[in-house]
Structure 1
Amino acid sequence: MPNPIAMIDYQRCNPEKCDSGVCAAMLECPNKVLRQEAPYEFPFSRPSRFCRGCAKCVQVCPLEAIRIV
């Protein structure tokens, strides 16, 4: 079975709607798979980090812009 991947739906993602422009999913990820260069910028998934598939990022994203595949 392949490793899980946190996928961001950039059609739904809008950092301006997040608290202080900071991605809550990025803060919640225990493996720091998600990264955001600065507040109000789009987060991205780092391939060098391994997603455990815990879905904590999915649960805290207020815009439902993340899914685990």
Structure 2
Amino acid sequence: MYEGIYAASMMEQQRTAELNRACELRRRAEERMEGTTETGERGRVRAALTLAMRPRRRRSLQKPEVVLW
């Protein structure tokens, strides 16, 4: 029983950390946009912000081992 509670707590902490990171990135991007009048720069900041807010992949990037014989 306690393992499930612990796991849920860890997942909640991870989610909170990800939200905090996203909010911090958004705040920084908004600060950068305040003094910006050039449209291209504004677009780059918005694109970076969109990518930062996207949920990250959970899968490992390791390829499965292939046995040929």
Greater RCO structure (CA 8 Å; 6+ sep): 1
**TM-score, with normalisation over the residues of structure 1?**
0.25
Q: Rg larger in 1 or in 2?
A: 2
Greater strand percent: which structure? 1
Greater helix percent: which structure? 2
